[in-house]
Amino acid sequence: MRLKKRTQGLPSGTQIEFLTDDPSGRRDLQTLCKLTGHRIEWIREEDTGVIRYRICLA
């Protein structure tokens, strides 16, 4: 997952917000968070089909 590569080296507690239109992204993100200890702060689905995520890095 690109997110894992892009967040490597960032300090713990950093909040990341990103967008996707891929519905399977939720499942992928939950798996990533279980593996890394990151926390999902919120998930928002917009009327346009875009899904916004905010996570807090472990």
Whole-number Å distance between alpha carbons of 29 and 20: 11
Give this prediction's pTM.
0.82
**Would you state the structure tokens that stand for residue 54, as one six-digit string?**
């905010």
Q: How many other C-beta atoms can be found within 10 angstroms of the C-beta atom of residue 3? A: 18
Distance CA 41, CA 30 (A): 11
pLDDT at 54: 97
Task: Look at residue 1 in the predicted model and tell me its pLDDT.
Answer: 62
Structure tokens at 24: 């399977």
Residue 35 CA to chain centroid, in angstroms? Answer: 13
Q: Which CATH architecture has domain 13-57?
A: Roll (3.10)
The pLDDT assigned to 5 comes to: 86
Q: pLDDT by residue for the chain (58 residues), tens digit each? A: 688 888 889 999 999 999 999 988 889 999 999 999 999 999 999 999 999 999 999 9
Domain coordinates in residue numbering, the chain: 13-57
